[in-house]
Structure formats: structure tokens, C-alpha cells
Structure 1
Amino acid sequence: MSAATKQIRQILKGHRCLDIIGRTFVKSGANMSSEIEKKFALPRRFAGSEKSVWVEYIQLASEYNPLNLGQGFPDFPPPKYATDALAKVATGENYMIHQYTRGFGHPRLVAALAKLYSQLIGREINPQTEIVTTLGAYEALYSTITGHVDDGDEVIIIEPFFDCYEPMVKYAGGVPRFIPLRLKSEVKGRLPSSGDYVLDPNELESMFNTKTKIIILNTPNNPLGKVFTEKELVHIADLCKKWNVLCISDEVYEWLVFKPNKHIRIATLPGMWERTLTIGSAGKTFSLTGWKLGWVYGPANLMVNIQMIHQNSVYTGVTPIQEAAAIGFETELPRLGTDECYFISMPKELEKKRDYTVKFLSDVGMVPIVPEGGYFIIADWSPLESRVDINSEKDKYKDYRFTKWMTKNVGLQGIPPTAFYSVAHKPLAENTVRYCFMKKDENLAKAAEILNKWKNSK
């Protein structure tokens, strides 16, 4: 064997060794990667929460650039005094306003909130012990639910519900139990109203037992727009008292109620202050959702648990935002109950937007449910089913297929309402879509134009 041949064989042998080493390394790396993925997978208590309708539809909007009536925020300016206040706070001489503030709530803000709600609730609220400000109403819900739900506690959730309620209850070790608002009878000669959707009294009573810890109430309701009546609230209150149950009342849309409906705070009913924690939002109150400022108020003994969760998760809020919001409330407090008050003028403006949206949805063939409050409309799109190729979309639920098809092919985006229902009750919402009408008049007119053009093109 020549020297050259020996050299070639040696090289080939080396390559075989390298190949074996490489394959061994790849296999070892794959095993290591698998072990890492297995050990550091999402904890079981969060399973099922990975998919978010908001993440999915924001991405869809960025890809297709539709007119977006899906997300719930205004696209017009907030009150000038609020933004002026923030600018003044940001550039003022008090440089300490840019440092940490009191953890459970900026002193000036909790003082203003206590003054406001003392009038509305009809009892003196202690700003130091009976209010906690939070990073949005989202954190208010999280701290309230986490602070009061123990392993195995049952929590009654009224459907449709804001989609964070269910996962938050599960994270805390609780057991969600769902009861839907149902159409009480067939509606003839008019459009259905959110007031036509009610809880079955017997079904509601059957939900309560010795394991029931909490009922979550949302009035005005997102996404349906239902404003619970005094009679309905009294029934809920009586059951809470009978079974010693806490009521978490999500009232972020408290000011956005259309006449003749009236927002009644369940904490004002006899025997309910002692067992109610109420959630509020500066984002909804002042049309400033990006400020991410919320609060909880209730009796001091129930606030202790919220304080503990808050201090060990976020600790404190954003000082300049809280200072500016306090100035906003101080501006409105002397106007409370007058036509000058933003809390009075905004729902009047919003009612016009609601009525306009109801009309153009009806004109195109949908059947909107006229909301009593909030800034969303749920509409039945099933009369248009023959005109929509929903089967080109692969989602499980029809409302997802409809909203995606409309986003891509018509240029108008809504949100699928099954996102606001439990798995068992999603069929109740499959033929509907949710639109936000807290938008500029020209954008609502554009939405009407888009739908009319689509209707006439067929």
C-alpha cells in the first residue's frame, strides 16, 4: 500500500470518527434540549392560557390594516385638563414626583377617590385603609382575586365575561363556575336590548353552595353592555348574604350608562358594603386607557389581602400618572352631577355613536343587541352567512372565522365574542361579533361606508 493510499484511508477514517462524534453531539444536544424544555415548560396552573384573542387580533390588524373596531379604546383625544395635568406634572419644579410614591396609592389620588366615592356610596371611605390604586383595573382584578381565592374555592362567573377572569381564578387555585345571561324571551317588532338578557333565578341559586367563595359581577357588562337592575342586584346580594359570599364588582364602565338606565353600585345595597370589593379604572373614566391606572375600594379588613398581593407583585404605581389623575378628579368633583361634568357629557356623546353604529349594522343586515352601557355592541351576523366564506378560515368557532374573513376581505375588524364565554357556553356566541363604537365619528362613518360598499358589491 502506497503512502498516498494510507493517507487517504486515514483521512476517511477521521471523517467517520468526526461523523460519529457529530451525530453523538447532536443526539446529546437534542436530549439536553428536550430535558430543558420539559423541566422549564409552562407550569400546569397556567395551561390553557397561552392563546390570547388580543395578541392574535392585534397581529391580524397589523398584517391586513383594516379599520379596527375590535379593540376597546377611544381613537379621539381625552379631556384636555387631564393631558395638561400630566404635562405640568412631568415638567414641573417638584422633581420628587418622579420618584416612588406610597405603595398602596399616591396620597393625593386616594384622597380624591375617597372624596368621590364617599359621595357615591353614601358612607365615609378611609383613603388610607379602604382604597388601593393599581396598574390598571387588570391588576386590581388580579390582586383582588388572588388575594381572596384559596385552593378549591368556587368562583361564580357571569357570562359573557372579560376574558381574564377565568385564568386569574385558576391561577389562584380556584374553580370557576359559569352561568350565562340568556335572552329571556323572543323579541318581536324591535331590536333586542342588552336588558333582554337575564340570569335565570333558579339557575343562579343552584350555583351557590358551601364551597362558593366569590361571585364576579360586571356592570355595565363587557361585551354585552348590560346594566344590571336593582331587582337583579338585590337577588345577587341576597344570595351573597345567605351563603356568606364575597362579591367582586367590576364597575370600570360605571359612568358610561345610557338613559333611562341607571348604574347601581351593589356595595350600596343593605349588608353588601361588608362583602363587596369594587373595581374602577381611570382608563375608562377619563378615556385614557394607556395610563394603566385602576383601583379597588372596600372595607378595610378585605383590603388587607389585596395590599399584600399588590406589595409583593408590583409594590407601587406610577407616581406622575397618579398625580395627574388626582388633578383630573379634583377638576371634576365640583362639577359632579352637572352638564359640565365629563362623567355626564361623555355618555351623551357616546349614546349618539351607539345609535349610529346600531343603524349601520342593521342596514347591512346584521342584528345588533342595543347596549344599555359601555362602548361595545354585539351583533348577530348570521343573516350574512351566505355572503361570507367562513370555511376558508380554519378556526374551531364560527365567530373567529367570520371576524378573520371580514378583516382580510372586507377591511373591517371586530372581535369574536366566544372569547368571553366558557367552553360549555361558546355556542351561544358563535353567530355574533363585537364592535367598539368609542371611535371618532369619521371612523364610524368609514365603517358604515365599508360595509355598504361590501353589501352592494354582491
Structure 2
Amino acid sequence: MSSSDLVKRQSESPWVEYGELGTKYNSVNLCKGFPDFPPPDHVVEALITAARNQSSHQYTRQYGHPRLVNILSKMYSQLIGRPVDPLKEILITVGAYEALLSIFLGLINPGDEVIIVEPFYDCYPPMIEMAGGIPVYISLNPPEDSNQRTVSSSEWKLDYNQLASKFNERTKMIVVTTPNNPTGKVYSKEELLAIGKLCRQYGSIAVMDEVYEWVIYDDLSHIRMASLPEMWPYTLTVGSIGKTFSVTGWKIGWVYGPKKLINPLQIIHSNTVHTCATPIQEASAIALEIEFNRIGKPDSYWKQSAIELQAKRDLIIKYLQTSGVNPTIPQGGFFIVADYRNINWPSNDTIYSEKSPGDKFAKWLCIEKKLLTMPVSYFYSSSNRDKGKNSIRFCFFKKDSTIHDAGRILNKLQVKVKSNL
């Protein structure tokens, strides 16, 4: 007996290997994007309340618990400036993962092309290939001197002439993550308008992965593609309760958009997952109802969390700069990309297996220095992995004590001595 041809064409997620690596060597974990501290009290209380509701322990509506889709409808109708039908224009999924998979399986035909902006979260290509689609890649370009100074994620740019050349009559969709994982880039209105114009020109769908929509720094604003003129018919937007309330284990996500695009996803969902966990959906709804009434107010968890995370971001940036690692300062999200080329490490003597460029450095850092990160090369397509070979990704959504532990390790790294010759 053997695996299917589909499985043979794919590889195991690097998150499995790095998770086991960190556990084995008891490393300080700045790898995966989840906090090492409790979620907000009102979110925990929402789950307790939901568990005490007898009806929450039985099946709910297949496409989404009524209370949850209703508050999402109310919230996004306000945020994007148009009504969102709770029953026909929202689908609740098992995390953002299932939202993405439902999009690809529900809308892609064999041979359809899907543009992916690199660096990207690694689940996109295998899911697209499962549906018979063809990934087409275009990269955000960092400044040429990013290994010599601290840069901003806003300096990572798309070449829009190159992007336009990727679109054709076979382009079914483009996948854009804003804020971007791993760079933290928050796309500006002008950048989104340029992408949207190409989508309308070619009749392509803009798949917007916006799971970090509330994690924005430096007084910037998150612009939703669905709110832009003429883009509602072309846009599907993915969200996540895990990223929204720091409860990644809840695994509740959603996708919203026009009925004609949501209905195929509902069919895929009903024939695979059937329905999501009722008590978690009920708790998610309760938490969202509370937070919706706090939007823009001082007691808003989203507002306070962004302030606290910005302080954590700035803390780890200081450690990185002191150690000689040159970071990209993120405008949003939980992550920092940092160029490690200034670090003196025994690259020629290190024997750890390298599955991807940068993999050897990350393993050395974990095994020898007890700091777990993720090579940025895994956020690129196999043909473009050299573009991420000199960088690693740090998650700073951790207790300050965890960041200080990582900082002490970073401060012990040796910087290469620059020759005067």
C-alpha cells in the first residue's frame, strides 16, 4: 500500500520539524505565531459562558453559527461600508486554513493560475496544487542594502510592471497577505488599488488573507480590499479568531465576500467539514460582540494589544540591532524578518542537514545557542528560496521575559570583523 499521487507531490510542513527541534533542545521559542501568555479575560469568560449553554453542545448551522455570522456581518458591514449578508456572504471555517482550502477547492479548475506574492505563508502552494491550480510567483523586493541597516517593511515593494506581466486570461486569483507574514508589510491604499485594477481588468479574484487585521503599529491604518471602489465583486477576505483574540487553539476562521463567490465554498465546506465546533463559535460570537462595542475606545483589547505588541517589537529590535542582526521593522503582525549575514558562525563546520537555504543557520541557532526561529527561505517557492536564504523570522508575540531570554542569547553572538582592505 502506498500514499496517493497527490501526497507524493507534496512534502511535510517545516513547522513539524522545527516544533520537534525546539522541544528536543529546550530552546527559547520565537518560532511559531502564538503567545506564551493567557488570552484576555473576557474571551476566556466567553468560552465558560458558551460551555454552560446546553444548546452549544449540539450541531449548529452548517455554514456558521447564527450568533457568530450575525456579529461578523454587523462588524464588517461597518468596516467596509456596505452590507454583508450574514447567511449568504459569510462562511465559518476550521481556522483560516480551511477558509483558504475552501476557496481554492471551490473556485479553481485544473490549469487555472494563481498569483502568490512572496514571501508567503507556506500552505498556499500545496492547497492550490490540490485543486489543480498552477502557482505563479512574484516577490516583494527589500532594499538592496537591507543587510547593512534596519529597514521598514514599507520598503519591501512590488514591481507593478512585473505584476501586470503575470496576469493573463488564465489568472483565476491573486493571494495577498496584509499585514504580510513574515515581513509585517501593511499594504497601502495605493498598492491595493493597483492590484485591484488588475483583478478587474482580468476578472480575477483578490484573495485577501487579513488574519492580522487588528495588529497594526505606528498609527497606521489597515485598508481592506473589499472596501475599495468596485472591488467587492472580486474580493474574498479571510479572518481568524485565533489571531483576533490570541487563541490559536480555537481554530475558528471565516471568509466573507459576494454570494456568487461564497456559495461554492459553502458547498465544499458542507461536504467535508460539515460544521464547526458549536461552543467555540458561540464563545467567538460573545467575544466579538463585546469587542465590537469597544472599537476605537481605550478599553478595546485590539487597541491595547497593538500598543503592547509594538513595545515588544521595539524591545526585540533593540536586541537584534545590538547583536549585529539587521531587522525589517514590521508595520503589523507578530513577526520580524532579520538578515543574519553579519553574524560570525561556523557555517563550513556545521553538519546539520539543510533542507532549505538558511536552514543550517536556524538549526545551529537552535541546537547550539538554544534559540528557535524559522528560516525565511521556507516562505518562498522552491525556485526562489535563495531570496530568503540570508534571513530568519522571529515571533515577538511572547512574554517580555521570553524576549529578554532571547535577547541574552542574541547578545552573545559574534559579529564578523570587517576588513579594512
TM-score surpassing 0.5?
yes
Distance 1:420 1:48, change over 3 A: farther
Q: Distance in 1 between matches of 2:85 and 2:147?
A: 49
Distance 1:190 1:379, change over 3 A: closer
| Aligned equivalent of 1:434, options 358, 379, 393 | 393
| Aligned equivalent of 2:44, options 75, 83, 105 | 83
Match of 1:50 in 2: 11
**Within-5 A mapping of 1:8-407:** 36=1, 41-90=2-51, 92=52, 94-184=53-143, 186=145, 191-386=150-345, 391-407=350-366
Instruction: Please state how far the C-alpha of 1:386 moved relative to its aligned partner.
Output: 4.0
Unmatched 5+ residue regions in structure 1?
Answer: 1-35
Say whether the 8 Å CA contact 2:343–2:413 is kept in structure 1: no
What SS class does the counterpart of residue 182 from structure 1 fall into?
A: coil
Q: Distance in 2 between matches of 1:107 and 1:399?
A: 46
Distance 1:420 1:178, change over 3 A: same
Q: Distance in 2 between matches of 1:50 and 1:206?
A: 30
The farther-off stretch of 396-405 and 285-294 is 396-405
Q: Distance in 2 between matches of 1:377 and 1:289?
A: 19
Q: Distance in 2 between matches of 1:455 and 1:330?
A: 50
Amino acid corresponding to residue 246 of structure 2 in structure 1: S
Match of 1:414 in 2: 373
Q: Does 1:425 align with 2:388?
A: no
Amino acid corresponding to residue 408 of structure 2 in structure 1: E
What SS class does the counterpart of residue 183 from structure 1 fall into?
A: coil
Say whether the 8 Å CA contact 1:390–1:398 is kept in structure 2: no
Q: Rg larger in 1 or in 2?
A: 1
Amino acid corresponding to residue 73 of structure 1 in structure 2: F
Distance 1:317 1:247, change over 3 A: same
Say whether the 8 Å CA contact 1:282–1:291 is kept in structure 2: yes
Instruction: Please state how far the C-alpha of 1:260 moved relative to its aligned partner.
Output: 3.5
What SS class does the counterpart of residue 177 from structure 1 fall into?
A: strand
* 1:382-410 deviation digits (Å, cap 9, x = unpaired): 11144556632221434110011111100
Unmatched 5+ residue regions in structure 2?
Answer: none
Q: Distance in 2 between matches of 1:139 and 1:183?
A: 31
Distance 1:305 1:239, change over 3 A: same
Q: Distance in 1 between matches of 2:148 and 2:413?
A: 27
Say whether the 8 Å CA contact 1:110–1:133 is kept in structure 2: yes
Instruction: Please state how far the C-alpha of 1:50 moved relative to its aligned partner.
Output: 2.4
Q: Distance in 1 between matches of 2:125 and 2:287?
A: 33
* 1:392-440 deviation digits (Å, cap 9, x = unpaired): 2221434110011111100101001111101121111101100100000
Distance 1:397 1:187, change over 3 A: closer
Distance 1:48 1:379, change over 3 A: farther
Amino acid corresponding to residue 249 of structure 2 in structure 1: G
Instruction: Please state how far the C-alpha of 1:58 moved relative to its aligned partner.
Output: 1.0
Say whether the 8 Å CA contact 2:323–2:412 is kept in structure 1: no
Instruction: Please state how far the C-alpha of 1:124 moved relative to its aligned partner.
Output: 1.1
Q: Distance in 1 between matches of 2:392 and 2:229?
A: 38
Alignment RMSD: 1.7
Amino acid corresponding to residue 173 of structure 2 in structure 1: I
Aligned length: 416
Say whether the 8 Å CA contact 1:390–1:405 is kept in structure 2: no
Q: Distance in 2 between matches of 1:355 and 1:137?
A: 28
What SS class does the counterpart of residue 392 from structure 1 fall into?
A: coil
Say whether the 8 Å CA contact 1:136–1:294 is kept in structure 2: yes
Distance 1:170 1:189, change over 3 A: closer
Say whether the 8 Å CA contact 2:344–2:413 is kept in structure 1: no
Instruction: Please state how far the C-alpha of 1:97 moved relative to its aligned partner.
Output: 1.2
Amino acid corresponding to residue 60 of structure 1 in structure 2: L
Instruction: Please state how far the C-alpha of 1:121 moved relative to its aligned partner.
Output: 0.8
Q: Distance in 2 between matches of 1:147 and 1:454?
A: 48
> TM-score if structure 2 supplies the norm length?
0.96
Identity within the alignment, %: 46
Distance 1:48 1:60, change over 3 A: farther
Higher helix share: 1
Say whether the 8 Å CA contact 2:345–2:414 is kept in structure 1: no
Instruction: Please state how far the C-alpha of 1:143 moved relative to its aligned partner.
Output: 0.5
Say whether the 8 Å CA contact 1:274–1:299 is kept in structure 2: yes
Instruction: Please state how far the C-alpha of 1:454 moved relative to its aligned partner.
Output: 4.6
The farther-off stretch of 260-269 and 250-259 is 260-269
Q: Distance in 1 between matches of 2:98 and 2:56?
A: 22
Q: Distance in 2 between matches of 1:263 and 1:425?
A: 29
Q: Distance in 2 between matches of 1:403 and 1:242?
A: 42
Q: Distance in 2 between matches of 1:153 and 1:202?
A: 21
What SS class does the counterpart of residue 374 from structure 2 fall into?
A: coil
Instruction: Please state how far the C-alpha of 1:44 moved relative to its aligned partner.
Output: 2.3
Instruction: Please state how far the C-alpha of 1:310 moved relative to its aligned partner.
Output: 0.4
Match of 1:10 in 2: none
Say whether the 8 Å CA contact 2:356–2:378 is kept in structure 1: no
Q: Distance in 1 between matches of 2:355 and 2:15?
A: 17
The farther-off stretch of 185-194 and 207-216 is 185-194
Match of 1:27 in 2: none
* 1:209-266 deviation digits (Å, cap 9, x = unpaired): 0111000010000011110111110110000000110111000000001124221001
Say whether the 8 Å CA contact 1:146–1:172 is kept in structure 2: yes
Say whether the 8 Å CA contact 1:158–1:180 is kept in structure 2: yes
